[in-house]
Amino acid sequence: MLEKVKAIKAEIENFNVKNQEALEAFRLQFISRKSVIAKLFAGLKDITPEKKREAGILLNNLKNTAQKKFKELTAQLNQTTKEVEACQEIEDLTLPPPADGIGALHPLTITQAKIVAIFKRIGFNVSEGPEIEDDWHNFTALNFPKHHPARAMQDTFFISQDPEIVLRTHTSSVQVRVMESQQPPIRTISPGRVFRNEAVSARTHCVFHQVEGLYIDTHVSFADLKETLFYFAREMFGQDTKTRFRASYFPFTEPSAEMDINCRICKGAGCNVCKYTGWVEIIGAGMVDPQVLENCNMDAQAYTGFAFGMGIERIAMLKYQINDLRLFTENDIQFLKQFVALDLSFPALARANKREKI
């Protein structure tokens, strides 16, 4: 037995491992219940009592040697694995740089593109104007005369203390410029960024986006306005969308109304977004006030028209069930990545994104 123990001990001491499979082979050969050492312990019953004590000590020392070696091999293998992983993390400067990830359109850009595409299908074109406006186009031409109480509805940013120059509070100023430069028929929408001096919260922001629409021609009626907005609501939110109109007030339209849709989050059952009414306001609208037409050098006796406006953030929040307005401007990558798949779900967006990606 002594010779056999010496041979096994030498084999244990000379054993090396390079991977987990070799370490497991060592365990099975020298430590497991069916190992060569376990078989030697089983053979103690055949040894005479005089030699059994000496053989037991010899085998216990062999067992301890095997267990100590197993711990050393395990530690050695773990250290080798860590070193390999560390080397793999070091960037190889001889390799070509990885390709940059292709970005996606912002959810507000996606929403605006959808709104524009819907109205283009029914004959509206797109008009744009300056974000820094004068008092006439932003207020006076729209029935906001000096010291009119309706100006209190607009928390305005003024430029360099000049009361005549402001950051536009709505894109209705673009509509004034269109009416001044074109003759009816006019059918246009004006998307853009607007500014109001408001506290930033989950529901309000000092910088946001609007889309406003204008249609002026002969014999334009309130029924035309309603059917246009019905069409938009169903194209944007689905054919099952329910709508309702409520009387309202805007200085530049008469009569004026607001359009609600059934809440897309609770499906009309009632939640904190719709304030448990089942309805959410999305659009302010009305017939263009004759005085606004006269201010823009149009014959209010010959022409009538309607106007409407909506917040792009509000539409996006309802469309994609977003409950905090601030998410649109915080540039959270995890939030923005959720909208990557939307680029290809709408043909106009796929074409726009294809042009913008490099």
67 by DSSP, 3-state: which? helix
What distance in Å separates the CA atoms of residue 29 and residue 269, rounded to the nearest whole number? 69
Distance set, CA 189 to CA 118, 214, 215 (Å)? 11, 6, 9
What distance in Å separates the CA atoms of residue 97 and residue 313, rounded to the nearest whole number? 38
Distance set, CA 355 to CA 338, 348, 349, 352 (Å)? 21, 11, 10, 5
Q: Which helix (H) or strand (E) holds 243?
A: strand 243-250
Give the per-residue pLDDT at 58. 81
Give the per-residue pLDDT at 34. 84
Does this model's pTM top 0.85? no
Residues of the chain with pLDDT under 50: 352-358
Query: Which residues are bridge partners to 250 per DSSP?
Result: 253
Residue 171: CB atoms within 10 A of its CB come to 24
Q: Do the strands 186-195 and 125-126 form a parallel or antiparallel pair, or are they unpaired?
A: parallel
Q: Where are the domains of the chain?
A: 2-89, 107-356
On the question of a cis peptide bond just before residue 185, with omega within 30 degrees of 0, the verdict is yes
Give the per-residue pLDDT at 232. 97
Give the per-residue pLDDT at 18. 81
Domain 107-356 sits in CATH 2.60.40.10:
no
Residue 262, sorted as left (phi over 0), alpha (psi -120 to 50) or beta, turns out to be beta
Query: Taking the chain, what is the end-to-end CA distance rounded to the nearest angstrom?
Result: 77
Give the per-residue pLDDT at 62. 81
Give the per-residue pLDDT at 337. 82
pLDDT in tens, 4-21: 877 888 888 888 888 888
